[in-house]
Amino acid sequence: MKVMDLIQYLCNRVEAVYFANRFPPTGPDDCVVVTIFGGGPPDRNIRRPSFQVMVRSKHPAQAEQKAGEFLDMLHQKRGFQIGSEQVILCNAQNSAPLYAGTDENGRSFYSVNFSILLEVD
């Protein structure tokens, strides 16, 4: 699974300004970063990547609400495509958006983390 394919999937469903892997220094106050992590070990026909959606906003309640949109949309979602990859199942790793702090500009961060089962051809 490629991060830009995942961002394309998400941006067609949740309106936001997206970035891959890190927040740019000059990015807008309200934006989202998507990062893919290694996840669990693969099997012959299954891969198990994980990913994080980190939401930043000048307003903490808005960041938490936006992170909740991703949680509601993706938890226990089955049978869909991300790019050319077939997703068997996507599960949230946490029950609510996680507060991840505030930066030097007073912007709040909330994250949601997911595990995915991908079918390998």
- Print the domain residue range for 54: 3-119
Of 17 and 120, more confident = 17
Number of domains in the chain: 1
Token pair for residue 50? 């994980």
Distance CA 14, CA 17 (A): 10
Distance CA 75, CA 89 (A): 9
41-84 confidence digits (pLDDT tens): 989 999 999 999 999 999 999 999 999 999 999 999 999 999 99
Secondary structure element (H or E) that encloses residue 115, with its range:
strand 108-119
pTM exceeds 0.85 for this model: yes
> What's 105's domain CATH number?
3.30.2000.20
